[in-house]
Amino acid sequence: MDELVFEIESAKAEDAERLAALRIEAMRPSLEAAGRFDPARARARFLDTFEPDETYVLSAEGQLAGFYVLRAREDHLYLDHLYLAPEHQGRGAGRKIVGLVQQQARRLGIPVRLMALNVSDANRFYQSCGFDVVEQNELDTRYAWSPETSAD
């Protein structure tokens, strides 16, 4: 499959509903595997914390391809969401986005933190991007990546 060519734009307030729908679509397999698929809950959890200034939309060929949410904290960057439409997964966009976030963290001299459902394929992906497990509970795994410990 070809590498996904995409553009990144800042989100707008009116993007909220379509991003929530993409989140539900992208998370559905993991949430079903965890026995927690509830579209209304997944939608509300996203919309309740949606901040356009922290959200970046990926477009490919004029269509919504994915999005990510990067929240700047005092001592770290928090990659709160990274979702790609199922037809665009496995085409390098996720790795490219994580690389951009890691570059930003490197410039700022702070770590990147994130969380993934234990049953999600995202766990292998984030570990392959250099993230280390920090904490795990029955549902989620928390990860961190630090520029100090990065081999790059």
CATH code of residue 57: 3.40.630.30
pTM assigned to the model = 0.93
pLDDT at 152: 52
Is position 152 within any domain?
A: no
Is position 1 within any domain?
A: no
pLDDT at 122: 93
pLDDT at 149: 74
pLDDT at 150: 66
Longest Cα–Cα distance of the chain, Å, equals 41
For residue 86 the two structure tokens come to 């199922």
- CA distances, 3 to each of 70, 92, 118, 129 (Å): 23, 6, 27, 17
Is position 13 within any domain?
A: yes
* 19 vs 119: CA distance, rounded Å: 22
Sequential pLDDT tens for the chain (152 residues):
689 999 999 999 999 999 999 999 998 988 888 888 899 999 999 999 999 999 999 999 899 999 999 999 999 999 999 999 999 999 999 999 999 999 999 999 999 999 999 988 899 999 999 999 999 999 999 999 999 876 55
Q: Order of strands across the sheet with 63-72?
A: 7-10, 55-60, 63-72, 77-84, 112-117, 140-145, 132-136
pLDDT in tens, 1-31: 689 999 999 999 999 999 999 999 998 988 8
pLDDT at 35: 81
The length of the chain, given as a count of residues? 152
**Domain range enclosing 31:** 7-145
Is position 84 within any domain?
A: yes
- How many structural domains comprise the chain? 1
Is position 95 within any domain?
A: yes
Is position 28 within any domain?
A: yes
